[in-house]
Structure 1
Amino acid sequence: MATKVSRTVEWNGKEVPVYAMQTISFSALLSQEPAELEKLVRCCQNEGYFYLDLNNIDGRRFVDDYQETLKLMHHFFESPLEVKNEYGLITPHLGYEPIGSRNGVLENTRDGYEMVKVSRDEIQRDSPHIPRNIKNSTDLKILENAISGNNIMSKAILSGLSTGLGLSGARRFENLHRNDRPSTSTLAMMHYIPSDPVHDANVGHQKHTDISSLTVLFTEQWGLQIRPPGTKEFGFVEPKAGTAIINVGDSLRFASEHVFQSCIHRVVPFDYSEHRYSVAYFLRAEDDTMFVDSEGRNVTSRQWHDEKFAAFLASPMDQAKTPSSLLLGGMKEDESDVYAAANRKPVVVEEMKPAVKAH
C-alpha cells in the first residue's frame, strides 16, 4: 500500500518525510455516521493511526483538559529530582520514571525523557497514590478529568470500530474494556529534554509499538515519527491544533485477529534546544482478557503488558535477545533504521533502571 508523503523536512542532516494522516471527526463518530465509520475502519486496517478532530462542541472540552494537564506537568517536572523520585515507579503503569530508564532512539543511547504515570484504576481510589507536589484537590480534578475524557474518546473509537465491522454483543471491542474491571489503562505525561543526536547520551524514545489497544496522544511540538506499513523509513507526524493523534496498539491488533495494524513509532529531538511535552492515554484491555499474540501464544492482556514493559526496561544486550515481535507487536519492517548513529560508545545502563515498588 502506498503511503502519501505530503512534504519533507530537514532533520539530522537528511530530508525526512512528513507522512499524511487521515482525519476522523469526533462529532461524526458520536453520531455513528456510516461514512465516518467506514473511514475509521480503513485507517485501522491500512495504517494503524489517524488524527481525531476535536474542533467541535463535543471535543473542545478534551482539548481544554489537555491544556490544564500541561500546566500540571510543568509544575511536576520543574520540581527538584529528589521530590520526583519520592514517588518512584510503583507499578509499571503507575509512578515516575527518570531520564535514562530505557533505551534511546539511536544505537548506544538511553532515552531522553522523564515520565509520570497515573492509572485509571488508581485515580478512582479514595486516597490515590499521587506525587505530593500535584496532590491538591485542583490537581486531582485535572487528572480525573483528563483520564475520564481520554477514556470517553477511546471508547467512542472502539464503539465505532465494532459497529463498522458489524460486531455485536460480547464480540464488540468495548466489551474487552469494561470500565469496572481492572486494567493497566494509564495517563502518561512525558517531558523530553533538549538533546543533540550527534553527541548526547540521552536521545528520544526508541522505536516500538504500544502495549495498549488505543493510544490517545496530545502534543503541540514536532518529534513523533512513524513508520507506516510497507514503508522503509521513519517520517514525522505534524502536530495539529485541536486534534489528538490516535495510534492502534498491540492489544487491539490481537483482538482484531491481526487485521488492524499496530503503529511503529518513535520520538526524536526535532528542535535540539527545546523541552518537549506530550500527554498519552493508553487504553488497555481488562487484565484477564485473552489474546493470541504474534507468536501464536495465548496470553492475557496483563501478561502481554508485563512482558513488553520488562523488555522496554532491559539493557540493550538483553533487549536484543527478546523476540522482535515483542517490541514491535509482530509488525514487519522492510529494512533497519536508516538514521542509526554509527560508532557511538556504549552507554552504561546498570544503574539507570527505576525500581518498581510493591503496591
Structure 2
Amino acid sequence: MAPSIDIPQTVEWQGKQVPVWSMQTIDYGLILSQDPSEIDKVTKACLEDGYFYLNLQSIDGRRMLSDQKDTLSLMKRFFDAPIEAKNEYGLISSHLGYEPVGSRTGAFGAGSKDGYEMLKVSRDEIQRGSPKVPSPIKNNGDLGLLENAIGSANTITKVILSALSTGMNLTGASRYENSHRNDRPSTTTLSMMHYLPSSVTGNDKVGHQKHTDISSLTLLFSEQWGLQIRPPGTCGAREMGFVAPRAGHAFVHVGDSLRFASGMKFQSCIHRVVPFDPSEHRYSIAYFLRAEDDTMFVDSEGRYITAGQWHDEKFKAFTDPWQWQAMAPGSMILGGMKEAGEDDPEGEPVAFQVEKTKEVAVEA
C-alpha cells in the first residue's frame, strides 16, 4: 500500500484550488556513485509513487542542465520557423518527425484537441549519423546540440535504470539495463513540445491527454507550470494535481515498459499537461528511454508481447480519434494503472470521457 501523502499546497487553476503534489528528491551524484541509501530511496519512489525529482545541480549533472538550456533555445528557433519548413518530412515514424498542433485528443475529453506541436528525434537515427531532421535544424548547425542532449539524457536514464536493477536485487541478464543496450534497435526518442497560447489556438481548454508513457523511464524538463499527475494507490489522492517546476531539477517518471518488466511492481505515472497560463508559450523537453524493440514482457492485458509491439499499439491509440480510442483495450492509454478521483466519475472510461462542461475543439 502506498504511504499517505503529506497535505499538499494548492494553486488556483480555472477558478478552483488544485493540489501541488509532493514527491521524493533523488540526488543524481549519489545515484551515480551507487550510494546504497540513495539506491534504496529511488527504488522506493518507483515502487510507491512512480515518479520523483532528480537533482542535477552537482558537477555530474550540470552538463545535462546546460544541454537542456541549449535545447530550449533550439526549440524556440525551430518552432518559430514556417510550417512548411518544420513539416519538411512530416511524421516519418511513430518516434521520429514533426507533429502539427491538433494531431491528438486533448486533455479535456472527447472532442478536445491537444494544442501543441512536437518534434521527435530518434536516438538510433542520431547514433547512425544520418538523422532525418528538418532543414531549420540542419542548416543552423543545431544537430550537435541535439546529439549532446541525447547523449546526456541517455547516460542519466541508464544510471537510474542500473540503480533500480540493484535496488530490486537483479543480477546478470535479468538487470534492466541489459534490455536497453545502445547498439540494439529501440524507439528511444527526444521529444520537444511547444504548447501554443490561447490567442493562437482560440481556446484555453487544450492540452496533453491523460496517459502513462510508453517508455521505461521519462526524463522531463519544463520551466513552466502545466504538468499534472495523479498519485497511485490508496493514498487519498482524489484528483489530478500539479507538479511544481524546480530549477536545477528534472522530473523523472516510470513508464509502462519498466512497470511490465518489474512484474507490475513499479508504478507507472498517470499524468497530463494543461494550460496553467493560457497566454504563454509553454516548452517542455522529454527523453523517453525505451526498451529494445524485441524485449518481451507481459503487458496490462496479460499478453506476452514485445516492447516494439506495445509502442506501436499504444501510439496508435494516442493518435486515433477519441471515438476509435474507445475501441482500444481498456487498459491501453493508462497502461493498466487504476484510478478513482473526482475528475474521473466512476464508471466512465478514463481515456476518453466526455467533459462534463461544454466540449471544446481546436482547429488543427
* TM-score (norm. length: structure 2): 0.92
**Over the residues paired in the alignment, what is the CA RMSD in angstroms?**
1.9
The corresponding residue for 2:216 is 213
Residue 60 in structure 1 maps to residue 66 in structure 2: no
The corresponding residue for 2:9 is 7
1:84, distance to aligned residue in structure 2 (A): 1.2
The corresponding residue for 1:111 is 114
Aligned equivalents of 1:63 and 1:148: distance in 2?
A: 13
1:348, distance to aligned residue in structure 2 (A): 8.7
Aligned equivalents of 2:296 and 2:316: distance in 1?
A: 20
Structure 1's unaligned 5+ residue stretches are 353-359
* Paired letter, 1:48: G
Residue 271 in structure 1 maps to residue 277 in structure 2: yes
The corresponding residue for 2:304 is 298
Aligned equivalents of 2:187 and 2:223: distance in 1?
A: 26
Aligned equivalents of 1:18 and 1:105: distance in 2?
A: 18
The corresponding residue for 1:223 is 226
Among 150, 156, 159, the alignment partner of 2:162 is 159
Three-state SS of the structure 2 residue aligned to 1:127 is: coil
Three-state SS of the structure 1 residue aligned to 2:54 is: strand
Aligned equivalents of 2:359 and 2:256: distance in 1?
A: 33
Deviations 1:200-241 (A, max 9, x none): 286010100000000000110000000010322100000101
The corresponding residue for 2:238 is 232
Aligned equivalents of 1:154 and 1:181: distance in 2?
A: 16
Structure 1 residues 193 and 347: CA distance shift in structure 2, 3 A: closer
Aligned equivalents of 1:5 and 1:81: distance in 2?
A: 45
The corresponding residue for 1:121 is 124
Q: Is this contact kept in 2: 1:100–1:202, CA < 8 A?
A: no
Structure 1 residues 217 and 66: CA distance shift in structure 2, 3 A: same
Q: Is this contact kept in 2: 1:52–1:243, CA < 8 A?
A: yes
1:195, distance to aligned residue in structure 2 (A): 2.8
Among 91, 99, 120, the alignment partner of 1:97 is 99
Aligned equivalents of 2:307 and 2:229: distance in 1?
A: 24
Three-state SS of the structure 1 residue aligned to 2:8 is: strand
Residue 200 in structure 1 maps to residue 203 in structure 2: yes
How many residues align? The count is 349
Among 27, 31, 40, the alignment partner of 1:25 is 27
* TM-score (norm. length: structure 1): 0.93
Three-state SS of the structure 2 residue aligned to 1:325 is: coil
The corresponding residue for 1:318 is 324
The corresponding residue for 2:295 is 289
1:128, distance to aligned residue in structure 2 (A): 1.7
Structure 2's unaligned 5+ residue stretches are 346-353
Aligned equivalents of 2:359 and 2:289: distance in 1?
A: 37
Three-state SS of the structure 2 residue aligned to 1:52 is: strand
